[in-house]
Amino acid sequence: MSNQKPHLSTLAVHAGEERYLAERATQVPVFLSAAFGYETVEEWLETALGHQPGHIYSRNTNPTVAAFEEKVRQLEGAEAATSFASGMAAISNTLWTLLKPGDRVVSIKDTYGGTNKLFIEFLPRYQIEVALCDTNDPAAVEAALQQGCRVLYLETPTNPTLKVVDIARLAAAAHKVGAVVVVDNTVGTPINQTPISLGADIVVHSATKFLGGHADALGGVACGDDELIEQIYHYREINGAVLDPMSAYLLLRGMKTLDLRIQRQNDSALKIAQFLESQPAVEQVNYPGLASSPYHTIAKAQMHGGYGGMLSFALKGGFEQVKKFLSMLQYAHLAANLGAVETVAGPPATTSHVEETPAERAAMGIPEGLVRYSVGIESVTDLIDDLSQALKQL
Ligand SMILES: Cc1ncc(COP(=O)(O)O)c(C=O)c1O
């Protein structure tokens, strides 16, 4: 066996699996067992006390779930990982673990709608102050950090406007004031960026999206150093927002093709963004891979591999045109999801920011006339032909 660190594509296929391949299976079995039995109380106690490896009860740990966590841990280059029933469970459990009344969170205006709801509705109920800064103004984030901060929470690229924030710069500023840095890497994926290598303390994912890739299982994960993840794991085992073994199996299987899928989606998204830029019916295209994007320079510096499989664009004529356009697409599911092998499209009002009111979306700078387009693994020629025929009919 070589001592070289394996490439991401190899980790996506093999990482985390070997230990769980019982009975010479080549695939990790689905351990559908609520609890794990012991022949003696002594042995049971040794496991419960963490003196020997093993599982007690599936709200705490489960072998299929552990294999999933280990694969993500290795891909993100983290010391530890713990998983959840959904991406929102990963985000909320992480925040509830780290925060207490009187603490302050600094974040950006453009986070996923569910995360934004935590910031504007739920955290303030517990006397936790949240400062939301303009996403494209790193100096404003730095100034907000100076007023005190327990958690700096970032998402990059953002959903659905694909803004990119400078993780290394903001993580350094946050660490100076003793804050913990959390980054949502759902849209980027570890194939394109590894926030921990840029200074993040914790990476969270909606595994429902690109990690799983097949839109058939919900899941979430948080990765980071041993100490922080142990605290988050401890909160989760009591909170109970646990990933079920069947979903863990589906996510594990999906992740084997993560590198292949993301490479295809990166390439196709760039070609589609370039095509859309040339279309008279399109007002604006958001994609950090475009040379014209205001985020291209920072994206190029911190993303490797590519710029991700999701883009968004505004149509001239606003929401009325968006409704007409979406119904004419042949190869896109109109659905509230992203990151699947199938192309998925929709407006923010029914997808990423369904939880927000139109006024809240406006305050976040999310136009109603936007189309979020998550590129699948179909032929890019077919997708461009499809977009072209729909645009021509407007
Ligand atoms: C960037 C981002 N983070 C978190 C979430 C929440 O994930 P889940 O739907 O798995 O709870 C989503 C969902 O769309 C998302 O897009």
Q: What is the pLDDT, as a whole number, of residue 354?
A: 83
Do 232 and 276 belong together in one domain?
A: no
Domain assignment of residue 3, yes or no? no
Do 44 and 151 belong together in one domain?
A: yes
- Identify the residue whose C-alpha is closest to ligand 1 atom 9: 87
Do 286 and 223 belong together in one domain?
A: no
Do 275 and 379 belong together in one domain?
A: yes
Q: What is the pLDDT, as a whole number, of residue 210?
A: 98
Please state the rounded mean pLDDT for residues 232-255: 98
Residue 100 clears pLDDT 60, i.e. is over it: yes
The alpha carbon of 26 and the centre of ligand 1 are apart by a number of angstroms equal to 31
The alpha carbon of 25 and the centre of ligand 1 are apart by a number of angstroms equal to 33
Q: Examine the residue annotation and report whether 184 is marked as an active-site residue of this protein.
A: yes
Residue 236 clears pLDDT 70, i.e. is over it: yes
The alpha carbon of 70 and the centre of ligand 1 are apart by a number of angstroms equal to 21
* Range(s) of the domain holding residue 136: 8-255
Please state the rounded mean pLDDT for residues 51-74: 97
HEC sequence for 237-283: HHHCCCCCHHHHHHHHHHHCCHHHHHHHHHHHHHHHHHHHHCCCCEE
Residue 161 clears pLDDT 90, i.e. is over it: yes
The helix or strand, by DSSP H or E, that contains position 105, with its residue range, turns out to be: strand 104-108
Name the pLDDT band for 2 (thresholds 50, 70, 90): low
Least confident among 2-16, 19-33, 73-87, 150-164: 2-16
Do 179 and 80 belong together in one domain?
A: yes
Assign 47 to helix, strand or coil: helix
Residue 299 clears pLDDT 70, i.e. is over it: yes
Side-chain-side CA neighbours of residue 115 (13 Å): 29
Domain assignment of residue 2, yes or no? no
Q: What is the pLDDT, as a whole number, of residue 368?
A: 82
Identify whether the C-beta of residue 155 lies closer than 8 Å to the C-beta of residue 123: no
Side-chain-side CA neighbours of residue 386 (13 Å): 20
Candidate of 161, 164, 208 to mutate for ligand 1, largest count of ligand atoms within 8 Å of Cβ? 208
Please state the rounded mean pLDDT for residues 172-191: 98
For the stretch 110-126, pLDDT in tens is 999 999 999 999 999 99
Percent of all residues in the chain with a pLDDT value above 70, rounded to a whole number: 99
Do 237 and 190 belong together in one domain?
A: yes
State the Cα–Cα distance between residues 38 and 25, nearest whole angstrom.
Answer: 23
Domain boundary residue, one of 233, 255, 277: 255
Please state the rounded mean pLDDT for residues 296-308: 96
Q: What is the pLDDT, as a whole number, of residue 205?
A: 98
Q: What is the pLDDT, as a whole number, of residue 358?
A: 85
For the stretch 254-289, pLDDT in tens is 999 999 999 999 999 999 999 999 999 999 999 999
Domain assignment of residue 57, yes or no? yes
Domain assignment of residue 362, yes or no? yes
> Ligand 1 pocket by C-beta < 6 Å: which residues?
86-88, 112, 114, 155, 159, 184, 186-187, 206, 208, 218, 220, 352
For the stretch 188-221, pLDDT in tens is 999 999 999 999 999 999 999 999 999 999 999 9
Domain assignment of residue 203, yes or no? yes
Do 191 and 300 belong together in one domain?
A: no
Query: Please, what's the b/e burial string for 205-226 (b: 16 or more CB within 10 A of its CB; e: otherwise)?
Result: bbbbbbbbbbbebbbbbbbbee
Q: Exactly one of 59, 169, 253, 324 is catalytic; which is it? A: 59
Do 356 and 250 belong together in one domain?
A: no
State the Cα–Cα distance between residues 368 and 317, nearest whole angstrom.
Answer: 10
Angle between helices 245-255 and 63-76 (to 10 degrees): 40
Q: Examine the residue annotation and report whether 59 is marked as an active-site residue of this protein.
A: yes
Name the pLDDT band for 352 (thresholds 50, 70, 90): confident
Do 180 and 269 belong together in one domain?
A: no
The overall pTM is greater than 0.85: yes
Domain boundary residue, one of 255, 274, 291: 255
State the Cα–Cα distance between residues 394 and 278, nearest whole angstrom.
Answer: 15
**Count of CB atoms situated within 10 Å of the CB of 343:** 25
State the Cα–Cα distance between residues 185 and 194, nearest whole angstrom.
Answer: 8
Name the pLDDT band for 359 (thresholds 50, 70, 90): confident
Q: What angle do CA 215, 220, 223 make, to 5 degrees?
A: 135
Q: Exactly one of 73, 103, 112, 235 is catalytic; which is it? A: 112
- Count: domains in the chain: 2
The alpha carbon of 389 and the centre of ligand 1 are apart by a number of angstroms equal to 31
Q: Exactly one of 71, 209, 261, 372 is catalytic; which is it? A: 209
Please state the rounded mean pLDDT for residues 333-356: 91
- Identify the residue whose C-alpha is closest to ligand 1 atom 13: 206
